[in-house]
Chains A and B, each alone.
Chain A
Amino acid sequence: MRALVVGGGLVGSTLAARLSRDQHDVVIVESDRERLQGLAEDLDVQVVSGNGTSVEVLRSAGIGECDALFACTASDEANMVVALVGSALFKVPRVVARLRDRDHEASFRAIAQRLTGEHVCINPDQAAVEKIMSLLPVPGATDVVSFLDGRLIIAGFPIPAGSDFEGLLLSHLRLLFPSPPVLAVAIRRGDHSFVPHGEDEFHAGDLAYFAVDPQELDNVLRLLGVRRSSEERVMIAGASRIGLEVAHRLEAANVAVTLFEDDVGVAEEAAAQLKRTVVVRALATDRDVLEEEGIERAAAFVACTDDSSLNVMAGLLARRLGAARAFSLVDNPALTRMVGELGIDAVVSPRLLTVGLAVQFVRRGRVRAAAALMEDLVELVEIEVESGSRLVGPRLAELGLPRGTLVAALLRGKSLIVPVGGDRILVGDRALLITTTSRAGELDAFVGGQ
């Protein structure tokens, strides 16, 4: 596939790196010469210098031949222009626009309806909100993704020393959770990440991702030694777009919320918008205020100011002061990798989420949902099995799936099946496949080759 990425910032460059690694041909358009130089040296992509909103520049970047267009400059307006030009003038079959403003999004959707091709807008803030909202109900989890219409969640937990999981053979999980089964789909041990099989065992300190039926979650949590906090209050630092949206959603779910905001104007505006939320005018790292507001009883502390470093500091402080969990919004990739080791429970990166969503979109139409775990090392793909698919027919063990690929679950009608080697996939099933990212291309080819 040939992909055109307009805008070589963090999102653009990360996206280009992903696409290039997945064997796609990538062209990046960027106006900043120095940034462009860096991209040309670091990535195996073609770079075109110029303003992406110019038709001439887009043409010279080969927009006519590209299969997917990603508009991800820092400006919503520019992204709309690029996406619409690509769609209307050049009939690009798949177009992704990164739009942060809700109104822009609505206008774009309205126009896009009249155009041919597939369109999607990705809102980084919205993606972050969704991520936070999926993390909140699963205590102890560092990451949560839901699949198969919410019938299955994939959640990552650190394996504590002395818990029942330490030293447990993976194949014995079936004995612990006979029905519905719980499956470990990915493990990170130190710097090494892998899709495990039955003979692997859990070590203390592992980060293990489980595929769990949400109804079974409490049993898993019990074995992990994680207790649900009796308190429900969630504290949010920063009345940013993300902070406000999370507060709104929590209010709607009857969760008590405290919102910290330093800026007077922003704090007053937030207080005016929200109903029951306690809006406190204070810096997210103000220890006295946090204690005064009862941080030690908070079920979760979400640091989502516009400043990544501040979010890390605030999250660490909140944990130190007794908050049950702390999430921090961090966009700086160098920080993202480090923060988990520091003691923050989960790191949410709007930009990386955007990249993940954009990549999922360009994968084949059969893919209903997809997600990447552990900094992109493991990939989950949900597909609808159509007649003629190579997945249908033989037993799973004889299917010849690419190495390191696992069929985690099947949704057949209303029943959730965690298959074993002897099971077969039927037409109409929805299957959740897991693979290491380096093999994602092979899996795509396997699933796509009908």
Chain B
Amino acid sequence: MNRRFDVHLLGWLLLLTAAFLVVPLVAAVAFRDAPGPFLSALLLAALAGGGLVFLTRTSERGLRARDGFLVVSGAWLITSAVGALPYLLGGVLGPADALFESVSGFTTTGSTVIADVTALPRSLLLWRAMTQWLGGMGIILFTIAILPLLGIGGMQLFKAEVPGPVADKIRPRLAATARTLWGLYVGFTAAQWVLLMLCGLNWFEALCHAFTTLATGGFSTRNGSVGEFASPAVEWVVIVFMLAAGINFVLHYKLLTGRWRDVLRDVELRYFLAIVTAAAALLFVVLWDGVAGMHETARAALFQAASIITTTGFVSADFELWPHAAQFVLVALMLIGGMSGSTGGGPKSLRIVLALRSLRATVHRFIHPHAVVPVKYHGQVVGDGVLSGVAAFLTAYFLLAGAAAAVVAAAGYDFATAVSSALTAIGNVGPGLGAVGALDNFAHFPSPVKLVLSACMLLGRLEIFTILVLFSRRFWKH
């Protein structure tokens, strides 16, 4: 490992985070909020970052796979910690709450400990939405896009941050790949911003919601989330952009470069869209009572299905009041998540597809003990390495969710609250059921539970292994 250079990179990341803080600082001045918390956070991050970069300026460049895990995990921890400072210094939240809110932001989870968000200064709301937006496409990817010092070895970082079992470049150069992905992301965000304004939202709320939709984050500027706007147009715009954000950005790139045939043939996309459609249809069947408007019910069903499968976590109706069958559908969607290479969380639909196919192959082998049964994806045999990676990921995912649920239950919560809060944290979804339902918040949890859930969010966002390897003793032995 090249620890000196690792520290050097983390120093740069601190500087970058400090640069991000300029935005809410300017906003605070413009909105006449108190700029103090942002200024102090910015100076702290800049000084610490500058110091680290300076002290390690002579380090040799180059990263190995292990450095990738260390840098990416470290970067997310550091950024989350800095992101918590404005809440803390502004006196809005205590330490554990501030960290929870910040981690929930950067990991695009969207669970909140703030009961009344409308009471927050607007600059802080902007920062809250911005943390999600930055975390959505990824801070490391952003760094790769703008800082040239990651040329070689950047692939290690890229792989450690990009969600999904395989990370592919869409351009020959990593920096160009990162710039293209961020470019698409910015483009989508701008488009949604404009559309939301056309739907009647003011520029500030439109921007905040565009930020948190594309990131599949789910923070809102209203206590009642998107539902509070009571605008079908807004909901339709949000539905479309949530789904877009839950789709692999490589497919968006292919679509834009005219390779729509590849997009149509994409197996994961077909599964993803089929699941969304089926879930929305199921919800519709369960929810429709023949009294409420058909369009109303259909929209509510599609909105919630899209919101949960893409792990955005926006709410347009209080699903706490829905029948159990409907709530079950939502929990099932949490267990699938967005597509690989999207900004969505969860186990990712590609892993589910591969797991199902390898299940089918295993059954087939039981029936024909001597048959050669490869698992195929897009007509090509999937290597055992990928398949065992998927199996290991799913195992770790559910073990972790079980452990987190046990911690919540130990704190005295009911089964639905415990399981759903664990799944919503690790899947980066946002709301859960029971005490953390659609219109509840997470403030009532004791601090240790908040820290455990924060850890789950980070593990979920970095797809477990990036962080998990740091806990292996072998990792630290040269």
Which A residues have a C-beta under 8 Å from some C-beta of B? 2, 20, 25-27, 33, 40-41, 43-47
Closest B residue, CB atoms, query A46: B172
B171, B172, B173, B176, most chain A CB atoms within 10 A = B172
**Chain B residues, CB < 8 A from A45:** 172-173
**Chain B residues, CB < 8 A from A25:** 171-173, 176
Is the CB–CB distance between B156 and A46 below 8 Å?
A: no
Closest A residue, CB atoms, query B172: A25
Instruction: Select which of B65, B152, B170, B383 is within 8 A of A44 by beta carbon.
Output: B152
Tell me the complex Cα distance, A33–B65, Å. Answer: 19
Cβ distance A370 to chain B, nearest Cβ, rounded Å: 23
Closest A residue, CB atoms, query B259: A60
**Chain A residues, CB < 8 A from B169:** 40, 46-47
Cβ distance B123 to chain A, nearest Cβ, rounded Å: 39
Q: B161-180 toward A: CB 8 Å interface, digit per residue (1/0)?
A: 00000000111111110000
Closest A residue, CB atoms, query B68: A41
Is the CB–CB distance between A44 and B173 below 8 Å?
A: yes
Is the CB–CB distance between A44 and B174 below 8 Å?
A: yes
Closest A residue, CB atoms, query B169: A46
Is the CB–CB distance between B171 and A44 below 8 Å?
A: no
Cβ distance A387 to chain B, nearest Cβ, rounded Å: 36
**Chain B residues, CB < 8 A from A33:** 383
A-B contact pairs, 6 of them (CB 8 A): A43-B152, A44-B151, A44-B174, A44-B175, A45-B173, A46-B171
Cβ distance A92 to chain B, nearest Cβ, rounded Å: 16
> What is the interface size of chain B, counting residues whose CB is below 8 A from a CB of the partner?
15
B338 in contact (CB, < 8 A): no
Is the CB–CB distance between A27 and B172 below 8 Å?
A: yes
Which B residues have a C-beta under 8 Å from some C-beta of A? 65, 151-152, 154-156, 169-176, 383
**Chain B residues, CB < 8 A from A43:** 152
Cβ distance A73 to chain B, nearest Cβ, rounded Å: 20
Known contacts A33-B383, A41-B65; A2 and B172 CB within 8 A of each other: yes
Closest A residue, CB atoms, query B383: A33
**Chain B residues, CB < 8 A from A41:** 65, 155-156
Tell me the complex Cα distance, A33–B384, Å. Answer: 12
Tell me the complex Cα distance, A272–B409, Å. Answer: 89
**Chain A residues, CB < 8 A from B171:** 25, 46
Closest B residue, CB atoms, query A25: B172
A25, A41, A43, A47, most chain B CB atoms within 10 A = A41
**Chain A residues, CB < 8 A from B65:** 41
Given A40-B169, A44-B152, A46-B169, 19 further pairs, Cβ under 8 A: A2-B172, A20-B173, A25-B173, A25-B176, A26-B172, A27-B172, A33-B383, A41-B65, A41-B155, A41-B156, A43-B152, A44-B151, A44-B154, A44-B155, A44-B172, A44-B175, A45-B172, A45-B173, A46-B173
Cβ distance A33 to chain B, nearest Cβ, rounded Å: 7
Tell me the complex Cα distance, A20–B176, Å. Answer: 13
**Chain B residues, CB < 8 A from A2:** 172
Tell me the complex Cα distance, A47–B156, Å. Answer: 15
Tell me the complex Cα distance, A33–B155, Å. Answer: 17
**Chain A residues, CB < 8 A from B151:** 44
Tell me the complex Cα distance, A33–B386, Å. Answer: 12
Tell me the complex Cα distance, A33–B385, Å. Answer: 12
**Chain B residues, CB < 8 A from A46:** 169-173
B156, B170, B173, B175, most chain A CB atoms within 10 A = B173
**Chain A residues, CB < 8 A from B156:** 41
**Chain A residues, CB < 8 A from B152:** 43-44
**Chain B residues, CB < 8 A from A44:** 151-152, 154-155, 172-175
Cβ distance A42 to chain B, nearest Cβ, rounded Å: 8
**Chain B residues, CB < 8 A from A47:** 169
Closest B residue, CB atoms, query A43: B152
Tell me the complex Cα distance, A25–B176, Å. Answer: 10
Cβ distance B345 to chain A, nearest Cβ, rounded Å: 25
Closest B residue, CB atoms, query A26: B172
Tell me the complex Cα distance, A26–B175, Å. Answer: 13
Tell me the complex Cα distance, A40–B153, Å. Answer: 10
**Chain A residues, CB < 8 A from B174:** 44
Tell me the complex Cα distance, A33–B166, Å. Answer: 13
Closest A residue, CB atoms, query B64: A41
Cβ distance B61 to chain A, nearest Cβ, rounded Å: 13
**Chain A residues, CB < 8 A from B173:** 20, 25, 44-46
Cβ distance A316 to chain B, nearest Cβ, rounded Å: 33
**Chain B residues, CB < 8 A from A26:** 172
Cβ distance A376 to chain B, nearest Cβ, rounded Å: 16
Cβ distance B150 to chain A, nearest Cβ, rounded Å: 9
Tell me the complex Cα distance, A361–B170, Å. Answer: 27
Tell me the complex Cα distance, A165–B171, Å. Answer: 51
Cβ distance A56 to chain B, nearest Cβ, rounded Å: 12
Tell me the complex Cα distance, A206–B176, Å. Answer: 41
Is the CB–CB distance between B155 and A40 below 8 Å?
A: yes
Tell me the complex Cα distance, A33–B170, Å. Answer: 18
**Chain A residues, CB < 8 A from B176:** 25
Tell me the complex Cα distance, A47–B173, Å. Answer: 10
Cβ distance A234 to chain B, nearest Cβ, rounded Å: 43
Tell me the complex Cα distance, A43–B155, Å. Answer: 8
Tell me the complex Cα distance, A46–B155, Å. Answer: 11
A2, A33, A44, A46, most chain B CB atoms within 10 A = A44
Tell me the complex Cα distance, A20–B155, Å. Answer: 14
Tell me the complex Cα distance, A24–B85, Å. Answer: 42
Tell me the complex Cα distance, A43–B173, Å. Answer: 9
**Chain A residues, CB < 8 A from B155:** 40-41, 44
**Chain A residues, CB < 8 A from B383:** 33
Closest A residue, CB atoms, query B156: A41
Closest B residue, CB atoms, query A61: B172
Tell me the complex Cα distance, A421–B253, Å. Answer: 52
Closest A residue, CB atoms, query B174: A44
Cβ distance A25 to chain B, nearest Cβ, rounded Å: 4
Cβ distance B157 to chain A, nearest Cβ, rounded Å: 12
Closest B residue, CB atoms, query A24: B172
Tell me the complex Cα distance, A40–B151, Å. Answer: 13
Tell me the complex Cα distance, A25–B170, Å. Answer: 12
Tell me the complex Cα distance, A44–B148, Å. Answer: 12
Q: Which 7 A-B pairs have the closest CB atoms?
A: A25-B172, A46-B172, A46-B169, A44-B174, A27-B172, A26-B172, A44-B173
Tell me the complex Cα distance, A25–B156, Å. Answer: 19
Tell me the complex Cα distance, A234–B65, Å. Answer: 49
Tell me the complex Cα distance, A46–B171, Å. Answer: 6
Cβ distance A30 to chain B, nearest Cβ, rounded Å: 14
A20, A25, A26, A46, most chain B CB atoms within 10 A = A46
Tell me the complex Cα distance, A26–B171, Å. Answer: 9
**Chain B residues, CB < 8 A from A40:** 155, 169
Cβ distance A239 to chain B, nearest Cβ, rounded Å: 42
Tell me the complex Cα distance, A41–B157, Å. Answer: 11
Cβ distance A184 to chain B, nearest Cβ, rounded Å: 29
**Chain B residues, CB < 8 A from A27:** 172
Tell me the complex Cα distance, A27–B169, Å. Answer: 10
Tell me the complex Cα distance, A45–B175, Å. Answer: 11
Cβ distance B260 to chain A, nearest Cβ, rounded Å: 15
Closest B residue, CB atoms, query A62: B172
Tell me the complex Cα distance, A41–B169, Å. Answer: 11
Closest A residue, CB atoms, query B152: A44
Closest A residue, CB atoms, query B176: A25
Tell me the complex Cα distance, A43–B154, Å. Answer: 10
